[in-house]
Chain A
């Protein structure tokens, strides 16, 4: 039987501090990087990135906060946030327009002096950041298609980060360490130095960089050890003193040697991730199968009597709290997409091992236990479901998600492993993890580059509907009352189309066109990163890079792919169904009048809009009339995207998930033919349009599995709402059966919000009383009361279940 256990006093006080601390923007990293970049304008990119990392490891503060057991921080103060002007210069203008201290969402403290200092370096960074290089690398055609409503990049200020959404090989961090990794790189270098044939010159650069970053990592750990020494010497409490001494010892051991205990392993993985955050902005940096690579240590600790289960759980609590604390300041507009200081460091649990047998272990439960008893929305967790997932794991996972929306998500091994086995060995595919939000990828052996360029990685299926019936124009009008003109292909206007097949043909043309533009953008971004900001800190611990002598951005990882996330499937499918039903099949409205109604944002057409909602068959209700359209769209999209190639010898991998951008992108999307008004959220993932799933959960699951999920190796996302009443008592097993049925229908991923609309409304009215209420948005979970109203309403909409 699953039981939620109480937390220790120490953990309780850390949690208290976490919940009551507003994060602060700090300039330590900003300053070191600025000075280094200014002093070394002439360094080649690979060396520059390695040496700036070394500089950071030598100079960044190494604080250990009160009560802490797991340590590592990106600034000198608790819940500080570092800045990355080397990646993108968004902060200068953004901080000027909206003072971070006065933001509506994700408020940050920052001192006046720091703000002044930041702005004083604006001129330098505007010319030297990566995003600037991206702007200058776009081909001429880009300027003509901006504002099309399908692709989401602009023609300047693109690419807010060099990377994101990946998982390194933590076994290398834990079991090998950076001393050995550095030595190996030096040996490779020595073997080719003086005889650099072919690509060897490039490899030499790479190995040298790995040697530099590995040594820097040792320095960083040593400096933390010194801080632990210092605090131990000054500590009056014998127990804490001994603990600090033990921590110092650990910090001196890890990285230099293979870890021996659970605590050493956890500290090593956390400190590595922190160090990697000094180099690249934390962005969907995922933990992979943490239960798998930690499980053995815990077992040995227990058997040797080194640890009690309670202390083991405390280590995991401390680790999870560190993840919850960590945050990265982003632009004020981005907070509307993933508010709640989310850093999205996903942990994968359960599933089969490399041998194909269920590999659930004690750590699987301990991570869930921490999420549950600490009431955390971060770190996100995913549970892999296989044929032999133990009953206790079902129970623990469902009990946890009952109280914490979307924690964990449920992932089908049976859908994901075959999808990945198309590009990797069966054993490696079995060892997959989830990255970013719900994206399946290799654990430590793949560079999946999804979410790579930041928010521009998303692509709006919903926008195709508008383009296809407006002769290749986005009907959205700017402040000047004009549209951006022709940005797509001239496929004619709806009233020129003879039948619904012509509409579909137009959709397909626009789809092909905009998929190609998106791929063009992504591939340019890849070159810009590979040439200007290679990633040695990541490559040092990514399988394949050491052997190939190549950075991950150069294609060094064992496996390569590029994620491509389509957003708004339901909105597009319903839009097409409405056109088919109203204009062609039932001829209830003239095509010209209909187009006019959509393009005028349903002005004066409320009756028509409501009638559409009432009478047209909608996606999500197990109705072939519209589900066939969903299948058509999904098939076309996956085929087109999968056929595209990237510069690392890889194929693109289609996915259908929005992280949480369906709300933000909805805000800037014009009205769509499905009756959606301009500004309203798009549908999320593969879920039906909000409130259009009128036939209950079984029908929703049938509809969302009409297309082949294994053609979407970058992931599908289905957000389900359930009323808490439906999972009371026996309901738990019924939920388990529901998930199993969906997975047998081919469903890949499923996540739940099990909360009543009444509770959510009450939380809007009395936020203080519901401070710890966690809900799932799409790709991440958050404290409900920390979301903005539009997002809160979106969640409430999805939970509107009448009993």
Chain B
């Protein structure tokens, strides 16, 4: 049963997201994730509770403001004067920024309340289903023009499954194309329940080797692979019911809002999963999905290091992979392995 009274915690709702499915999309980023990927590019999505974030670029400096440093602001005395940097709009003019002590801070958010520029802000906003759906419907014109819609992403949206399912259902009833960006690390029952309301799964496949999967993400891959296989079948069943056919061709020709499909997403990480062996196993696995008409495409996303700066922003102590951005030419031979197996592939 879909519970519509539930509330969700997001860290962002963003319009015109480009990498989250077809057309112009608005993406809801839910907070909290059971995985800890080393290359995570939205580290603020990991924890399940609101947390303090600091975007340096917005801070006007201690001299001009300094409100967060007032002794009565931080109960933990976690804020002190920190580094001097160039003022963003005026290189050459130096300003001093506050510095937060991660060890002491308990994310109470009192400093964010004081900060007038929103340099300090709380990542994590609570929404009711109604309020979120109302917000998303504001962008309906754009969805209609572009064959776009809404993507629920995270974090892991299925970790807040009551909320996610309720939102998907409501959007589906409004005739809006829905996509669910998932790690697949969730109970099968939950995933199964989403099928009637989800038109496109953006399903991450990180590593076919369970040990390595665990090294890179903190969890083994059995559940993820099992779920993906079952999901392929469930999509096929759904499509047969919905449009009377489950072949790839029929699904491709149908109104995307009446079918369920899977877009497999592979973040290609240097020295982790960028080896041919991994892709050969992956190819075999994906052929099964293709056979039941559920596979839309496999999308390869070459590593980029955007996450590094964001880690700084939320003051994580966790690990983050720091490597140069990966060139397309490095990914091309891996894509070729999938193509050779007759699979549809897309870069970026």
Residues of A within 8 A of B (CB): 606-607, 609-611, 613-614, 622, 695-699, 701-702, 725-731, 733-734, 737-738, 740-741, 744-745, 761, 764-765, 793, 796-797, 800, 802-803
Contact = CB atoms under 8 A, between A and B. Distances in A.
Given A606-B65, A725-B18, A765 B138 contact: no
B216 interface: no
B146 A738 contact: yes
A730 B18 contact: yes
Given A610-B60, A737-B148, A765-B91, A696 B18 contact: no
A701 B14 CA distance: 14
Contacts of B23: 734, 737
B26 A698 contact: yes
Contacts, number: 89
A797 B306 CA distance: 21
Interface in B259-298: none
Q: Which 5 A-B pairs have the closest CB atoms?
A: A610-B116, A737-B146, A698-B15, A696-B15, A741-B145
B86 to A, nearest CB: 9
A734 B65 contact: no
B16 A738 contact: yes
Contacts of A730: 18, 348
B89 A793 contact: yes
A741 B348 contact: no
Max chain A C-beta neighbours (<10 A), residue from B16, B26, B65, B138: B16
Nearest to A698: B15
Given A695-B15, A725-B18, A740 B145 contact: yes
Given A607-B116, A611-B116, A741-B146, A726 B16 contact: yes
A606 B64 contact: yes
A698 B65 contact: no
B118 interface: yes
A446 B117 CA distance: 49
A622 B145 contact: no
B65 A607 contact: yes
SS class of chain A's interface: helix, strand, loop or mixed? helix
Contacts of B142: 698, 701, 737-738, 741
B298 to A, nearest CB: 15
A723 to B, nearest CB: 9
A761 B91 contact: yes
10 contacts: A610-B65, A728-B18, A734-B18, A734-B148, A737-B24, A737-B142, A741-B142, A741-B146, A800-B57, A803-B306
B138 A734 contact: no
A734 B348 contact: no
A744 B118 contact: no
B297 to A, nearest CB: 11
A431 B23 CA distance: 32
Max chain B C-beta neighbours (<10 A), residue from A697, A730, A797: A730
B319 interface: no
B78 interface: no
A734 B24 contact: yes
A699 B138 contact: yes
B67 interface: yes
A614 B16 CA distance: 23
B55 interface: yes
Interface in B182-216: none
B237 interface: no
Given A613-B116, A696-B16, A764-B91, A607 B146 contact: no
B145 A744 contact: yes
B64 to A, nearest CB: 6
Contacts of A737: 23-24, 142, 145-148
B139 interface: yes
